Structure 1
């Protein structure tokens, strides 16, 4: 795993009630006692980023039992989220071979919400191409370990990624609220999941929805990250909101609400957000092209109007005939360059 650098590191666990424990990592040794519910918590002191692989040792004193977590490093953990272009796997990109050769030169770890793995050429191909290139470039620039967690679902609108309480007070926001718990909408979502249809012919389209119910992915995918000490977030979404009938300025409102609600959930009011702008694409009809451009512009506007949010331009990296361009390396690298520039991370050295 990757423990967060430069901040206190909370560690939680369970044991028999009343069990006295010690936790050791590097030069630190901390004690804790499991409470009546068997829960314990200790906090390690802040540590600098380090490429040194160490063991995290948890020892139950009287029972003389211990748990050893191997190959633990100290660095940054980033949350990468969005729809299909964030999900796009490395193996389908044109830079797959280049990534396989580069992965051995950096220390990148992936967290799937349950377990960790260190990335190698044998296990990286199925992961997010943008996430992998972003993490590799962050690790290269900082000479430090980087971990990332990807949450994503293709064909989903931004409305699914925000809690109902944070929906904008707009006509569209007010229209979305009743759909959050509507039995017919929820049933349609279940049927879509069991029997997927071509996008646009899916059952949720009846309500003008993409492939997820409003607020549903916030509950399912975002809320479980609440206690993770993430350094920042990379957001790559908007394709499903580039529709002709969307009110002007609406996506900007939703993106700003998403940033605020995620920052609140992650207990980080200044959490950095890297927003990847939609790449060049020609959806056909003039009204569809206008809608695509509108989302691009509103992504930039939301970033300009919100402290700690930066947009990454993807001009020249799209494919006019493919909504899923296969060039992902430069997208990830540009996102990492933006993060390092704005957070002054270039040239950092791990010990």
Structure 2
């Protein structure tokens, strides 16, 4: 061989060897010892291998084979599996063999959102006390990180342990108990992140405001370089950089959600919205000081949420993927422009508008909204009363996804009848309608055409509530629990609170 050809030939050989090593058989990080697979649904399994090599996955009685593509990527699907509390081996083979042991089959849920989803078990004694009694619960904790491009894999692994999140653990504990089935939680959440942080770039096709945000982001070289520096820092990043990263649009989705699809799961629990309560409506003009305010307002959130759900279902190739939305609980502060409010007022710029938007998720099939209107804190955006949230999530999941016959939701508005000077409220889920303190129902306001709101005198008759006010001769409209931190006491026989509503249009 001529000397001048030696170096290029050696370089090519070295490069080919490096590629071969890099593409040796490897499942995606979601597939590891101790994992939980979704029952009663096709189960995609994927990873990398040498280009064009044959890959076989064996689990239980199934054996499926596929071929890696020219880039070494492969995916196959196992047929629907039956629930199993007995750990089994999954064997993945190509030129080498990988054995993933102690694999259970049950219910898999992604738990995502911002800080109230991250809120730790150790901060809620009632939930902490359940840990010794937990059985058949596994957790995959997704590392908090961002990416400028859609990532192929996540950082994390399955652990035979309960989630660190109070809400996620409470949900898993009660679901496992009610359903008598293993539960796997994929925990992917990050404090103070907006819904825009969790939105894929292709949602710019549906939402002009998000296209504007992403166009501005793409032009912002300073921000991109700052993100790259934090991501690549060998020492990690400080809290200031951490906040900066998680408050950017799209990049959290790229790193922490996109690589999870299409892992088979029953659904996604979404506890987010606080970051999007800063404005009643619209995307504000931002300055260097309030750069992180560039998010949608409360009134727009409902339509965005529905598009977001539909987009995720496409990512998971599952139009029946269930979405359980945790309603924001009571809170006494207002918006950025009107921070001080009367937390009992039905007209203040409060979280009531966000709750109304969150309830729009029910316009879509296979959705739930967990009512928290009786929970929360006047002054603490991170309330500790997370125990009921886990219970209510589990009840709705058991009813809506496992088909268990249980009263899972509180009373919801059905219709209103006007007669003389009264309004009669008919409710769904109203079996055993009562108040939890044996007093008259509270939280109802009524108005005539002038929209001059007055507190209603309310009384329960059967499974209806009769409303009136001596100063309103012809009441037309109702707002119930439509306030930042309303005082409410209306429940059904399962002691589940009535959902907030209003009957007037904007």
In the superposition, the TM-score normalised over structure 2's length comes to: 0.58
Structure 1 window deviating more from structure 2 (167-176 vs 211-220): it is: 167-176
Q: Residue 241 of structure 1: CA displacement?
A: 1.0
2:379 to 321, 345, 350: 321
Q: Quick one: higher RCO (CA 8 Å, sep 6+), 1 or 2?
A: 1
Matched, 1:296 2:355: yes
C-alpha distance in 1, partners of 2:404/2:62?
Answer: 28
Measured against aligned partners, the alpha-carbon deviations of 1:325-348 in whole angstroms (never above 9, x if no partner) come to: 11222111211211222224338x
Preserved contact between residue 164 and residue 180 of structure 1 (Cα < 8 Å): no
Q: Match for residue 55 of structure 1?
A: 89
1:107 to 122, 132, 136: 136
1:166 to 190, 193, 203: 203
Matched, 1:72 2:109: no
Q: How does 1:100-249 map to 2 (within 5 A)?
A: 100-103=131-134, 106-112=135-141, 113=154, 114-119=156-161, 124=163, 127-167=164-204, 172-173=209-210, 175-183=212-220, 186=223, 190=227, 194=237, 196=239, 211-247=246-282, 249=299
Structure 1 window deviating more from structure 2 (161-170 vs 143-152): it is: 161-170
C-alpha distance in 1, partners of 2:91/2:202?
Answer: 41
Preserved contact between residue 280 and residue 319 of structure 1 (Cα < 8 Å): yes
| Structure 1: gaps spanning 5 or more residues | 205-209
Structure 1 residues 273 and 14 mapped into 2: Cα distance closer, same or farther (>3 Å)?
closer
Q: Secondary structure at 2:356's aligned position in 1? A: helix
Q: Residue 271 of structure 1: CA displacement?
A: 1.4
Look at both structures and tell me which one has the larger radius of gyration over its CA atoms.
Answer: 2
Structure 1 residues 285 and 170 mapped into 2: Cα distance closer, same or farther (>3 Å)?
farther
Q: Secondary structure at 2:45's aligned position in 1? A: strand
Q: Match for residue 207 of structure 1?
A: none
Q: Match for residue 120 of structure 2?
A: 89
C-alpha distance in 2, partners of 1:211/1:44?
Answer: 35
Q: Residue 185 of structure 1: CA displacement?
A: 6.7
Measured against aligned partners, the alpha-carbon deviations of 1:230-269 in whole angstroms (never above 9, x if no partner) come to: 2101000011111135346211122112112211111112
Q: Secondary structure at 1:111's aligned position in 2? A: strand
C-alpha distance in 1, partners of 2:204/2:65?
Answer: 43
Structure 1 window deviating more from structure 2 (237-246 vs 18-27): it is: 18-27
Q: How does 1:305-320 map to 2 (within 5 A)?
A: 305-320=363-378
Q: Secondary structure at 1:290's aligned position in 2? A: coil
Preserved contact between residue 251 and residue 295 of structure 1 (Cα < 8 Å): yes
Q: Residue 177 of structure 1: CA displacement?
A: 3.7
C-alpha distance in 2, partners of 1:168/1:198?
Answer: 30
Preserved contact between residue 280 and residue 349 of structure 2 (Cα < 8 Å): no
Structure 1 residues 37 and 238 mapped into 2: Cα distance closer, same or farther (>3 Å)?
closer
Q: Match for residue 27 of structure 1?
A: 61
Measured against aligned partners, the alpha-carbon deviations of 1:16-61 in whole angstroms (never above 9, x if no partner) come to: 567666543323344556666655555433221111211223456x
Measured against aligned partners, the alpha-carbon deviations of 1:96-142 in whole angstroms (never above 9, x if no partner) come to: 43122232xx211112343111116xxx5xx1111111112221111
Q: Residue 89 of structure 1: CA displacement?
A: 1.4
Structure 1 window deviating more from structure 2 (287-296 vs 82-91): it is: 287-296
How many pairs are equivalent? 329
C-alpha distance in 2, partners of 1:11/1:191?
Answer: 31
Matched, 1:278 2:320: no
Structure 1 residues 115 and 321 mapped into 2: Cα distance closer, same or farther (>3 Å)?
same
Give me the CA root mean square deviation.
Answer: 3.3
Structure 1 residues 43 and 238 mapped into 2: Cα distance closer, same or farther (>3 Å)?
closer
Structure 1 residues 27 and 292 mapped into 2: Cα distance closer, same or farther (>3 Å)?
same
C-alpha distance in 2, partners of 1:117/1:195?
Answer: 27
